[in-house]
Homo-oligomer: A and B are copies of this chain.
Amino acid sequence: MKKHEIRINQWLKENRARGARLLQILVRENSTRGKESSTQAIIIEKCRQLGLTLDIWELGSDELKGHPAYFCDRQSFDGNPNLVAVLKGSGGGKSVILNGHIDIVPVGDESSWRHDPFSGTIECGKLYGRGATDMKGGNVSLLMALEALIANGIRLNGDVIFQSVIEEESGGAGTLAAVLRGYHADGAIIPEPTNMKIFPKQQGSMWFRITVKGRAAHGGTRYEGVSAIEKSVGVIQGLQQLEKTRNAKITDPLFDKIPIPIPINIGKITSGEWPSSVPDTAIIEGRMGVSPEETIEAAQLEMETALREWNQQDEWFRENPLQIEWFGGRWLPGNLESDHPLMNALTSSFSEVLGVSPVIEASPWGTDGGILSTVGNTPVVVFGPGITETAHDANEHIDLEDMFVASEIIALTLLRWCGVNEVSDDDR
């Protein structure tokens, strides 16, 4: 490492408590969909203190809502803004977007949590709470890297465009809004919880809603009706089979260690209003993974074709066909060459900080990287400190050591990607 690189690294090691404290106050705010404002306010204040140029706006422009990559069922964005905070470079260097989402998923069954999901409890070096891993911890890594540069008077050549966006968990309208507002760069890093792995490729995904019709009847004469729940069992089994067929086709070695490269997750089922009635409708909602090698449209077609087959094969479905909607969330897949300069900058920084080579894989989930790369024409790498397995789970937590190390790796990557006037470094 060069002198200024060592200085930054040293500063980050000395200021770990600042990072842990920042993550704790972020986790203590509930930023589930529609409630992002109080958490966003903390990020905004942090960026203001850092002296970044702030751009704060509420989503909802006609351009956004009319865009083909806008898939969002949110009614109102009022009061819950997006933030872009820019650290202007001195010129002549490559620019970078640092993108993190501020929204979190619901806590699920609270009784499964050992701590209050919004406590931010620290125990044995781990910080617990909804969003700790996905991805407030990653955001803190970004902010600490930026603070290290600023606190040490480093002036980068290229711009750093820090983005704190809403709506990632529901399909990326926040990042799309930032792209449409004109933000793009020579590269982007998204510190989603990758277990410190580096993901040049990201699985895309999208939400589906299948409506299964039945015929109501009194439960005591249930043979007079057709149970939407019983019919749903066949649909669930069909979706499991479709998942098998699709995954059998995946050959990319980046997916070698992933049990189900592109899962079809059945996330929700709702059917029936009354224990003593035969339910006449069931709604199945889920998430379909999209391979980095295929398009959203091709994946949709494959599921729609399967549904058409089931509708043909089943006497009841012939008269009362299954309906599918592609609603809400949609994340475009991402696909960066493994030898892209951004990959080289990140992997070499990783090796230098940790003394080992990083694991390079394809991500098991969609991220906002699909929008940044496909719509925003910005090469994207996903790399972050969170623990994949605890994202969206009870007892979500992050290993703080990973968060600190990620900030060192990211800071080093920024220095090398954006460039530094080395003369000024020697002066110090």
Once A270-B269, A274-B106 are accepted as A-B contacts, the answer to whether A218 and B391 lie under 8 Å apart by CB is yes
Q: Which of B134, B207, B278, B391 contacts A267 (CB 8 A)?
A: B278
Shortest CB-to-CB span from A92 to chain B, Å, is: 39
Shortest CB-to-CB span from A270 to chain B, Å, is: 6
Task: Report chain B residues within 8 Å CB of A240.
Answer: 230
Q: Which of B218, B229, B364, B391 contacts A392 (CB 8 A)?
A: B218
A138 CB–B CB distance under 8 Å: no
The size class of the interface chain A forms with chain B is 35 or more
* Alpha-carbon gap, A394 to B108, bound state (A): 34
CB-contacts of A369-394 with B (<8 A): 388-389, 391-394
A81 CB–B CB distance under 8 Å: no
Q: A109–B281 contact, CB under 8 A? A: yes
Q: B222–A265 contact, CB under 8 A? A: yes
Interface string of A152-180 (1 = CB under 8 A from B): 00000000000000000100000000000
Number of copies: 2
Q: Which of B222, B273, B328 contacts A108 (CB 8 A)?
A: B273
Q: Which of B203, B209, B268, B278 contacts A220 (CB 8 A)?
A: B203
Q: Which of B221, B267, B275 contacts A328 (CB 8 A)?
A: B275
* Alpha-carbon gap, A203 to B286, bound state (A): 39
A187 CB–B CB distance under 8 Å: no
Task: Report chain B residues within 8 Å CB of A363.
Answer: 220
Interface residues in chain A, defined as those with a beta carbon under 8 Å from any beta carbon in chain B:
105-106, 108-109, 112, 134, 169, 203, 205, 207-209, 215-225, 227, 229-230, 233, 236-237, 240, 259-260, 263, 265-282, 285-287, 289, 328-329, 363-366, 388-389, 391-394
